[in-house]
Amino acid sequence: MKKRQLVLSLGAIVGGTFLYQASAEASASTVQVKAGDTLWSLSTKYHTTVEALKSINNLSSNTIRIGQTLSIPSASTSQSSNKEEKPSAPATGSTYKVQSGDTLWKVATRFNISVEELKRLNALSSNIIYINQTLKVNGSISPSTSTTSKPAETPSKDTNGTYKVQRGDSLSKIASAFHMSVSELKQINGLTSNTIYINQQLKVSKSSQTTTPLPTTAKPSTSIPSTSSRTLNVSQMISDAKRYIGVPYKWGGTTPSGFDCSGFIYYVMKQQISTTRYTTAGYWSVSTPVSNPQPGDLVFFNTYSSGPTHMGIYLGNRQFIHAGSSTGVTIASLDNSYWSKRYLGAKRFAK
């Protein structure tokens, strides 16, 4: 009888040990932030997502500090987070609750609106959103109504050749519907950005222009010469770049599913010319230095090692657009304390 009790006791101890170990393995582990670490690099290293890291550590931004201790979500947590990446559309069709893994670009694409319009609707000043945040989205996702009253479906225009902007419209949709380019649509309407408003009247044919032409005073940087048979149109280049605001960062990425800094420049330029895929250092070496950057010039920074390691497209007014490792594609200022300390200079691409 005593032997049986001893065996049962040992079994309970061993079983309890295994249960403790299993519980410890299932729980979130921790890691101490080292120099050079980012949320993105840690999420890649531990096979999770930036959103899951921010959620489990109650972070409201992508900023982390050297020596900071972070909890790493377990595999089951990350998997459930990934499963939630494609949530069903909200029943109201006018608001959407942010899910794990969402970005402004993903939400905007899902509801057929631009990132700029989504930010305007929600009075957002940055590309940062939070899990369970409620966003206004205008609601145009329902498959049963997706073909109703969209500009691409033979939209009507007034007899004077104008079109009234409808809910869910974007410049690219309207331009496509009336068989013209976004640049042309912006030019004939004197638009300097991609922002449009409901009930705004837009000219949608060249014949709708008044007899007084738009100003054609040439600016020094209207085009960037290249060795190909075409030149880069700066207005189109900047317009194309802004279309991808909110696209997430991806190391080596060269498509709208994710960009790194040089991959973003390559993709934007490729929309106009046949060009080589350079690294940041490559763009630096083949471009010509300029003392006074103009819109369309390239700006370079030293972020983690000697020489140029990051770059963007200069927009004017000391603003530039770039694909940041913690922000994705966004607009920043050269006067920002982080970028001003790391600024190397501007160059004009000519290859």
Catalytic residues: 261, 310, 322
Task: Give the whole-angstrom CA distance, residue 73 versus residue 39.
Answer: 13
Task: Give the whole-angstrom CA distance, residue 131 versus residue 152.
Answer: 33
Sign of the Cα pseudo-torsion (264, 268, 270, 271, in order): positive
Report the DSSP pairing between strands 288-290 and 258-259: unpaired
CA 129 to chain centre: 12
Task: Give the whole-angstrom CA distance, residue 171 versus residue 286.
Answer: 34
10 Å CB burial of residue 21 (0-12, 13-18, 19+) is exposed
Separation of first and last alpha carbons in the chain = 89
Report the DSSP pairing between strands 223-224 and 232-233: antiparallel
